[in-house]
Structure 1
């Protein structure tokens, strides 16, 4: 199926063929800049070495590090949170073929204020008619049966979250979240995973599987650039708003030390 993408205009640009792919969990990895440029616009520091690999980003407070390494076995993403006063260390691994739009559900959430309500990983899945089953492990399965999210419990009492997808050729990707991964991050990933909206891939980057539905669209380069820029602009705007709010909060006076008080008292004698 082919159609002209809305928004064509003058300017002499030649349209490029892309494909809308659904379900998104079988769309392939995509352009990693969908993740990294949003983090950069959100104030994350690019620590990538001059050689260009692996890609490394640190959060502004240095509590979280993201990496993307094609030389790792298996190649893919890692997101690690160090131990803080509020939570223990945690770790997420995602193989290279996890669609970037789904990874962004996790990484975008890292740049946002943590929600006040208790996260619910299963809610966005059930809203999109994913089937849930209670057994040794609690599992939600996509309507097509090719993707899942599982809360995996081991006999020794350990636990972790596991998500994945497969086609007729076998396993496509895996994502594993350690037991201490903040729940709102797992929920963000699950929400993006269950999103029924298709994702776009350029010609030559459509996975070879009969399990997907594709729609051919013609897109102007300026449109692609505008869509990418809109996402970056949204990140910058949100970051500016958070920083402005934080700067306006009254600072609590530092408590005077016992030594300072005693010294002042001594000086009055």
Structure 2
């Protein structure tokens, strides 16, 4: 990608499949469904750079911009109680897909209601019913006690742990892209995450609607796996003093360059957090219309129990 003309690097494209589009510049779309909730801006020294909470404080959606999992969502029975469940969306997971989760969460919340704390289904396929309905294949080579699904193109999948586990254990992972810190997108859900919220994320993951990205945002190890459709005419060469947007582009490009020439990042359970001197821009959480994401209807076939 480095040998592309400069104006081509900044050109916008519609990326298909959407789950290979990457993070983009910020997590704005993930926070749009809850932009009307109370917003908190922690001090610069705080790991959490932006926090939205439900009006009663039971749901927390944080932005950790330069962290391995920049979006972290937790829910509890009360504002000061222990966390019931956690959802993590890593630095390559498209925020437009994360919005499927936060949209369902925003619809769930009501004063004194606990739909967002519903017990997970005893049937593993309720978590990923939209993927099964779309023809994702169940692999026969899964480790005992687990279920694995694979997208028709082989570039995305789901992993489900059906064994006994503790409240903080990871039990569902939705992923896309080649393995690697710069290419693998992951959404991870702890054991008590309600099945309908995971299914809403799966619906957004499989949505055929493209996601818009600038050309340089598509990693070289992913570009041959996606279809790119130009959004606008070729941009004109920039002249004059750099604009704030130019500076933003330069900062992101420098961060990507450093990451590409460093040791590959380890997976979350094996490595320390990875940071850069140019933190990822925090979401503005400006109100915008978000796509409606509905979980699939209950499956009629007999389903295996955990």
Deviation of 1:214 after TM superposition, in Å, equals 0.8
1:48-77 deviation digits (Å, cap 9, x = unpaired): 2253951211112211101111343x2421
Q: How big is each residue's C-alpha offset from its partner over 1:115-162, in whole Å with a ceiling of 9 and x where there is no partner?
A: 99x893332112322112464212221111111112124576766111
TM-score with structure 2 setting the length:
0.58
Pick one of 162, 166, 170 that aligns with 2:177: 166
User: Which of these two proteins has the greater Rg computed from alpha carbons?
Assistant: 1
Which residue in 2 is equivalent to 1:139? Answer: 148
Q: Could you list the runs of 5+ residues in structure 1 that have no partner in the other structure?
A: 1-15, 220-230, 236-269
Q: Which residue among 69, 89, 93 is the counterpart of 1:98?
A: 93
Instruction: Provide structure 2 residue ranges, at least 5 long, that are not aligned to the other structure.
Output: 1-9, 109-114, 234-285, 291-306
Change (3 A) 1:21 1:69: same
The answer to which of 102-111 and 166-175 deviates more is 166-175
2:53–2:61 Cα contact (<8 Å) kept = yes
TM-score by length of 1: 0.66
**1:59–1:99: structure 2 CA closer, same or farther, 3 Å change rule?**
same
Q: How many angstroms apart in 2 are the aligned matches of 1:154 and 1:120?
A: 16
Aligned 1:70-149 pairs, distance under 5 A: 70-72=65-67, 74-84=68-78, 89-113=84-108, 120-133=126-139, 135=142, 136=144, 137-149=146-158
Residues 198-236 of structure 1: CA deviation (Å, up to 9, x unaligned): 1111343233221111111218xxxxxxxxxxx93547x
Counterpart residue number, 1:39: 34
Number of matched pairs: 205
Q: Secondary structure at the match of 1:90?
A: strand
Q: Which contiguous aligned blocks of 4+ residues in structure 1 show a shift greater than 4 angstroms?
A: 154-159, 168-171
Residues 32 and 99, structure 2, Cα contact 8 Å, conserved in 1: no
* Aligned mates of 1:22, 1:103 — CA distance in 2: 17
Answering whether residue 201 of structure 2 is matched by residue 189 of structure 1, we say: yes
Aligned-partner Cα distance in 1 for 2:216–2:38: 32
Compute the displacement of 1:79 (Å): 0.5
Q: In 2, distance between residues paired with 1:216 and 1:168?
A: 27
8 Å CA contact retained: 2:105, 2:197: yes
Q: Distance in 1 between matches of 2:180 and 2:92?
A: 14
More strand by share: 1
Post-superposition CA distance 1:53-109 (Å, at most 9, x none): 51211112211101111343x24211011135xx97101111111001111111111
Task: Give the superposition deviation at 1:47.
Answer: 1.0
